[in-house]
Amino acid sequence: MAENLAGPGKSSKETDQILVKDPIDPPWAPGKPTVKDVAKTSAFLQWTKPEHDGGAKIEAYIIELLKSGTEQWVRVSEGINILEHFLRGLMDRQEYSFRVIAVNIAGESEPSDP
């Protein structure tokens, strides 16, 4: 309502209800990683940025791996700030799957497709 020297006026109509929340969400998942090169104990991975950053800059990426025959994903690299990474320390003749997670100030994305 408005108010002047004569006092308050009539109230306006009410607004529709709104949900007040932080406008920043975690990003969407990055693109599926591609193995660009592989050696005896290393692999070079590349991926694409998420289609939606959640409203904030992507701060980093996380790489997880899954050894063939196991069910537990293991984080092997964090704080990556580019769309590629050279993983060292892999086991010779071991099969792996890799996935990537994007991070912004609101949190972590779902993992990419492996």
Domain boundaries, the chain: 25-108
pLDDT in tens, 31-70: 999 999 999 999 999 999 999 999 999 999 999 999 999 9
Question: Do residues 50 and 62 make contact, with C-beta atoms less than 8 angstroms apart?
Answer: no
Alpha carbon separation from 72 to 89, 96, 108 (Å, rounded) = 18, 12, 18
Q: For 7-29, give the DSSP string.
A: EE-PPPPPPPP-----S--PPPP
Domain 25-108 architecture? Sandwich (2.60)
pLDDT in tens, 77-110: 999 999 999 999 999 999 999 999 999 999 999 9
Model-level pTM?
0.81
Tokens standing for residue 106: 């609101």
